[in-house]
Amino acid sequence: MKKTILYSLAFLATIGLASCNEDYSDWASPQAYSQEEAAAKYGVTFANGPEANTVLPDSDGNIRLVQVNQGNDGISGITLKNLVINGESVKGSIDGYYITVPAATLSKMAFKAHGNRKAEPLQLNVQSQVSINLATGDAVTFDTEGTTTGSITPDPVPAVDPKGYFLLGHFKENGKGFDLSAPVWMTANGDGTYSATVSTSQFNTTNYFAFYRASNYDEANPTWDEVNKGKIGAPTNGDQALDEFAVYANDPVYGEPQSAGIFSLGTYVITLDPINLTYKIRRAPTEYYIYNSANRGKKRLMLYSNGDNTYTMTTKWNGTQDMKIWDIANFGNSGMFFGATTPDATTATGSVTQGTEAGFISAPSAGWYKFTLDMNSSTYQWEAVSEPSKTYSSVTVSGINKALTHLAKAPHNWFVNDVNVASATTVHFVANDGTVWGASAAGKTISSQNYSFGVGTYDVTLPAGKYSFYLNDIDGTWNIVAE
């Protein structure tokens, strides 16, 4: 009996060893080949689809971009695994043996590449990955890269309205908002764009607005049914992008235009480019004053305009609760400060917000820094600088011989407020050692809209009036503000 058991175990072991033989193959295992072997075995190739080079509009909105050819009756179909166009992963679908992509998807790629919505062709480099479905139920997966190409030309944009454009929205200039009786007419800039300067009417909530074609506005009897036919708006409702593609009625890419949004109280310059079908929103340049221990509620310390809606201040900072900021429209209103979205953050960069949630903006540490405020993007940054080696005992406004006061708590910054200028004159700033600061070019005149003209040594003209003067002797920035 014992010998019989041993024989049985030996027989089973023999079977087990046979099962480990590399020649054994499970009938149900999926086929596995290299990429080249799979393509050759099943006769699969990739070619440009019949609509690979398309000029929109398209009849059904779907572009047959890639054709998958197969030369084997054993293939029952294909499954799309991955599609990459110009390096970007794109959602496509299978229609028989075609890989299709929505025309709107390809149009958006063209808009992004060109930065506009003009009917400019975009060349396409297409990489496809598919699974080949066999009639046996097995599957083979392989990749092809860069084997097909194509191009897409977006739909033509609507013609520029010869009568121009206007705005409706939550603006003080537009009555109670979207008031058809008080449109905000946009001004032609001479370069094909149209702009309007507006003040939002709602604080701490979205101020909605949209553009409208003037040809759809009957001044005697405007109606929403007709006006909305000429609406131009944003891709999504309340879109707060500062630079965006514009959407028109019955838009083949985005659908119906939505109202754009501005989430802040202030004055803005809104510009529409109907040729490229884009728009931009910029906070209008204005005066910004620092609130801190050196300047509590007074106009002694002002950020210096650097142009393009950016402002700077270079001095020695405490590294804690260094400033909040008032614009001139809200000066003195403690509920309307601009400040850090993250209160007392000491990071080198940050974003600003306005209102009671605005916190103090603080330098990364105590020391000498150049602070830059960018009101186009509502951001700020700190740049460490060396302590100035040169100091001045006095600074005077030439032409009117008016001395400025040095701010000890904001070293190297000088000011004098409320200076009466009896008649038009030319001025510059001059230090005790003869150092001169002025405009970067000749022939500039101070006005309520322009209070700084770069860094240089040229005189500027002051019409008769009352002015405040500000100078930073480190980097030569200055402001002369008409009161």
Average pLDDT over residues 307-312: 94
Strands (E) located in 135-186 = 139-153, 165-169, 184-185
The mean pLDDT of the chain is 90
CATH 3.40.250.10 fits 165-283, yes or no: no
- One DSSP character per residue, 156-184 reads PPPPPPTT-EEEEESBGGGTTTT-TTS-E
Q: Where are the domains of the chain?
A: 35-153, 165-283, 288-384, 395-482
Query: What pLDDT sits at residue 2?
Result: 40
Per the listing, tokens 């609130």 go with 291
Query: What pLDDT sits at residue 16?
Result: 43
> SS3 sequence, 424-457?
CEEECEEECCCCEEEECCCCEECCCCCCCCCCEC
Same CATH fold, 165-283 and 35-153?
A: yes
Of the CATH numbers 1.20.1250.20, 2.60.40.3640, 2.30.30.110, 3.30.230.10, which one belongs to the domain with range 35-153?
A: 2.60.40.3640
Query: What pLDDT sits at residue 345?
Result: 84
Residue 353, beta-bridge partner list = 339
pLDDT in tens, 154-175: 999 999 999 999 999 999 999 8
Helix or strand or coil: residue 310?
strand
The pairing of beta strand 310-317 with beta strand 324-327: unpaired
Residue 45, exposed/middle/buried by CB under 10 A (0-12, 13-18, 19+)? middle
Average pLDDT over residues 261-283: 95
Q: What are the distances in angstroms from CA 213 to CA 158, 369, 442?
A: 11, 48, 41
Residue 420, exposed/middle/buried by CB under 10 A (0-12, 13-18, 19+)? exposed
pLDDT in tens, 69-116: 877 677 788 889 999 999 999 999 999 999 999 999 999 999 999 999
In the predicted structure, residue 14 carries a pLDDT above the cut 80? no
Q: What is the rounded CA–CA span in Å between residue 233 and residue 20?
A: 69
CATH class of 288-384: mainly beta
CATH 2.40.30.10 fits 395-482, yes or no: no
Query: What pLDDT sits at residue 139?
Result: 63
Q: Which H or E run includes 312? A: strand 310-317
Strands (E) located in 155-205 = 165-169, 184-185, 187-188, 194-199
pTM of the predicted model over 0.75: yes
Q: Which of 69-73, 183-187, 315-319 has the lowest mean pLDDT?
A: 69-73
> Could you give the angle at the alpha carbon of 244 between the alpha carbons of 239 and 245, nearest 5°?
110
